[in-house]
Amino acid sequence: MGPEKTTGRQYWNPLIETLPRERLQELQLRKFRRIFEWAYRNSKFHGGLYQNAGIAPEDIKTFEDIRNVPKVEKAMIQENQGKEPYPYGDVLCVPLSEVTEYHQTSGTTSTAVYQADTWQDWEWWSECWSYILYAHGYRDTDRVFIPFGYNVFVAFWAGHYAAEKLGCEVIPGGVLNTEARILKMQELKATAMMATPTYVLGMADVAKRKLSLNPAEDLHIQKITCAGEPGASIPSTKRRIEKAWGAKVYDHVGATEVGAWAYECQAQRGLHINEAFFLVEIEDPETGEIIEEPDKTGKLVITAFDRIAQPCIRFDTKDVTAWRGETCECGRTFRKCRGIAGRTDDITKVKGVLLAPSAIEEVVRAFPELGDEFEVAVTKKGDLDEITLRVELTPGSEGEKDSVRRKLIDQLRLKTNLGYNLEFHLYGSLPRHEVKAKRFKDLRKEK
């Protein structure tokens, strides 16, 4: 008997995804103890860290005990890199001969982090992604295009293998340029794709400007999985992508050091945490207290239960989000959080007010008269902070400049409590980004 057609089923694993909360928590506790003991016994780094803190595997009996386990920061992993076993150092829990995969972080904020995975870990990556893609509606009838430069960044590698596992037909968009990728998607009638929100919007722009194609009408994409940036959880950006492509857009959050830990479902209201594979804690960045109530913003601390080569235990991601309170109509019992608001490093005080770059994106992307690209620069004039927002008017909207200026300043004031200098630039003149965009520049410290 061949693989059964799975269209009509809702969950990748209903046993886990609809497990009652108290059982889910029991599973999490057991799995935390297992990975903790594994790391304690097999990694000099973890063993030393926990011995210094006076915590042994037998001490982990409750979630309260987990809170006493020291967090791991990126800098601690970086300090170990370059030492034996080369290049990972003593964070490694397996002999080098068992490492089959190398990936690294992009290193946008500091030195890149090297990440080792065994073959089992690699299977685990694609298993985590299988939960994601199944929730996004991928099935064995889909033809999935992946416009990703397959390289040292983990990005959509595991999405590729998960799509295969689901029975999809996968088209690797590798070294093709943007125009060639669009034409290949059109030629093969691809039904789904995975990319960063920035690149998905960029592709739609190139399709219109350079190929005279309207992706919503001339291509066949029905669903898009976004990752790498928070855009797909920002309502105005999601709407913009969905309109440009005539497709449903789903967010997914993951990280090289952590794994693929959260995903939207068909309800598109918040990100489900894959709680059978990850423990997610949200912590008050000031006090370190664990936040349980909905809507209170905090910093994410994540444990991956089943990653063995280079375990991720209470990793301080520095990403900022909040719990969502409601249960989900999809029937999953996995808890939900909001989209990532940014990193604690990016959320900065301007004129004494906390500013998250994602809030500016939410406002700008809600204006149909404005292009997809924008830039924000924070500078210092004397003792005062100034924010300059650079935007582009779309072709044909030039006559709307004064009205857009007025409305944009009002909306930004409402959303962020801050005033802005607005600069209008020629359409197409602001930098275009291929993968992740760096649109927020804090230039106050550069002088």
Taking the least distance from each CB to other proteins, the nearer of 63 and 424 is 63
- Beta-bridged to residue 117, according to DSSP, are 101
CA 32/CA 145 separation, integer angstroms: 36
Strand order in the sheet with 223-226: 169-172, 143-146, 192-195, 223-226, 248-255, 259-263, 271-273, 336-337
Q: Which residues does 217 contact at the CB level (< 8 Å), separation at least 6?
A: 246
Site pattern 289..328 for other proteins (x: CB under 8 A):
-----------------x----------------------
Taking the least distance from each CB to other proteins, the nearer of 227 and 304 is 304
Site pattern 250..279 for other proteins (x: CB under 8 A):
--------------------------xx--
Alpha-carbon distance values, 382 to 7, 372, 379, 422 (Å): 62, 32, 10, 20
Q: Please pick, from the candidates 5, 9, 21, 30, the single residue that binds other proteins as defined by CB under 8 A.
A: 30
- Say whether residue 27 binds other proteins (CB under 8 A): yes
- Say whether residue 26 binds other proteins (CB under 8 A): yes
Q: What share of the chain is helix, strand, coil (3-state, %, to 5)?
A: 35, 25, 40
- Say whether residue 86 binds other proteins (CB under 8 A): no
Residues in region 96-155 near other proteins by CB under 8 A: 118-120, 122-124, 127
- Dihedral of alpha carbons 331, 334, 340, 341, sign: positive
Instruction: Work out how close the CB of 335 gets to other proteins at its nearest, in angstroms, rounded to a whole number.
Output: 17
Q: Where are the alpha helices (DSSP H) in 61-169?
A: 63-67, 74-80, 119-135, 157-165
Pair 374, 391: CB distance under 8 Å:
yes
Tokens describing residue 4: 């059964």
CA 248/CA 266 separation, integer angstroms: 9
Taking the least distance from each CB to other proteins, the nearer of 9 and 23 is 23
Taking the least distance from each CB to other proteins, the nearer of 26 and 289 is 26
Q: Please pick, from the candidates 5, 9, 21, 23, the single residue that binds other proteins as defined by CB under 8 A.
A: 23
Taking the least distance from each CB to other proteins, the nearer of 19 and 393 is 19
Pair 220, 69: CB distance under 8 Å:
no
Taking the least distance from each CB to other proteins, the nearer of 16 and 341 is 16
Alpha-carbon distance values, 410 to 378, 413, 415 (Å): 19, 5, 9
- Dihedral of alpha carbons 275, 290, 107, 88, sign: negative
Instruction: Work out how close the CB of 288 gets to other proteins at its nearest, in angstroms, rounded to a whole number.
Output: 30
Q: Please pick, from the candidates 1, 8, 22, 431, the single residue that binds other proteins as defined by CB under 8 A.
A: 22
- Say whether residue 1 binds other proteins (CB under 8 A): no
Q: Please pick, from the candidates 19, 260, 355, 363, the single residue that binds other proteins as defined by CB under 8 A.
A: 19
- Say whether residue 15 binds other proteins (CB under 8 A): yes
Using CB under 8 A as the binding criterion, the count of chain residues that bind other proteins stands at 20
Residues in region 393-432 near other proteins by CB under 8 A: none
Taking the least distance from each CB to other proteins, the nearer of 126 and 358 is 126
R_g of the chain computed on alpha carbons: 22
Taking the least distance from each CB to other proteins, the nearer of 27 and 211 is 27
* Residue among 349, 350, 346 at smallest CA distance from 385: 350
- Residue ranges that bind other proteins, judged by CB under 8 A: 13, 15-16, 19, 22-23, 26-27, 30-31, 118-120, 122-124, 127, 276-277, 306
